[in-house]
Amino acid sequence: MLEGCLGIGGLEIKEFTGEFPSALDQNRLIGGRALLLAAALVAGHALGQDAIPPASAPTTMQKKVDEREAQRRAAAADQQKRKEEFARRCSKPLKTPYELEECRLVYRQM
């Protein structure tokens, strides 16, 4: 039907007769597809390079100092709370063994 017509690359287009193409034709076909795939990947990679990720807001030195100061204040408040707990639990002169153990636990947490 299409005998004698030239296709891409000078190959003759023939009707499928149930036979597989020769090894040379298969190599050319696979090589051509590999080149097309490589060209598509290169084009996609080149187009993907244009997108610049959004920059995050820069952290200034003042923000860092404020964050450290807030952490220091929180730690100081926590330490003060532990001191008050120790004073509350351990201020009695006479203690039972249970109270002494609680006093030691609170002291270790300070």
Q: Where are the domains of the chain?
A: 18-48, 78-110
SS3 content of the chain, % helix, strand, coil (to 5): 65, 0, 35
Round the average pLDDT of the chain to a whole number and report it: 79
Name 109's Cβ contacts closer than 8 Å, sequence gap at least 6: 82
Distance CA 86, CA 106 (A): 6
Q: Encode pLDDT of 26-54 as tens digits.
A: 788 888 888 888 888 888 777 776 666 66
Distance CA 8, CA 13 (A): 9
Share of the chain above pLDDT 70, in %: 72
